[in-house]
Chain A
């Protein structure tokens, strides 16, 4: 059974960098032609795709966030990570990691990140 688990600080100060890690179990992050994505949901709002990384390290980002986002992968730890810099209150959301090939078939439970001083 594939499982994904997000981890990282739940509180980030404005203008700082949000950093999250997704740990994958039940599957190797470096095999199977999958993309690994980050998605977020602000309270009371819809889901927003942030970006994705392939096992080769190639990335694609949402144009609205591209200038602030970096997604990386650590195959030795079976993890991938998200960094979002210069955060504001608008970045407060539940952040999910998910696996993608033809669809998002497995997701993490999500982690709430609040941007506040």
Chain B
């Protein structure tokens, strides 16, 4: 039921920069609703990585950054590290019948 589309996977060597896109529509991201990003390792609680499009909670390294434009948002990871290998999800609010909160399809980041 995901209404936000992400690439299934991205990969990069240690130290490189990778970006993850999150494409929505005029009823969610395009309507001006905030985008948030989560990092998820299987078997653990998802971790809030970016909130309000561009903000990092305390404790999140500044290697992680978010941006938003039009009906899309992006998460960038610079200086990729082995510990960044995880699943990443975007999340926003949707004003249509899809439900209040919607999530992205998820992206697996692999550190080569």
Contact = CB atoms under 8 A, between A and B. Distances in A.
Contacts of A103: 34, 36, 48, 51-52, 91
A47 B89 contact: yes
B45 A49 contact: no
Give the one of A60, A96, A104, A109 with max B CB within 10 A: A104
Given A46-B106, A104-B38, A109-B45, 5 more contacts: A39-B103, A49-B100, A49-B101, A96-B45, A108-B45
Given A46-B89, A104-B91, A62 B100 contact: yes
Query: Majority SS of interface residues in chain B?
Result: loop
Interface in A74-117: 96, 98, 102-110
Main secondary structure of the interface of A (DSSP, over half): strand
A32 interface: no
Contacts of A49: 99-103
Interface in A29-77: 37, 39, 45-49, 52, 60, 62-64
A107 B46 CA distance: 6
A63 B99 contact: yes
A60 B2 CA distance: 19
B104 interface: yes
Nearest to A48: B1
Contact of B48 (A48, A60, A104): A104
Interface of B: 1-2, 34, 36, 38, 43-48, 51-52, 57, 89, 91, 97-106
A107 B38 CA distance: 11
Contacts of A96: 45-46
A108 B44 CA distance: 8
A47 B36 CA distance: 13
A64 B103 contact: no
B37 to A, nearest CB: 10
Contacts of B106: 46-47
A48 B103 contact: yes
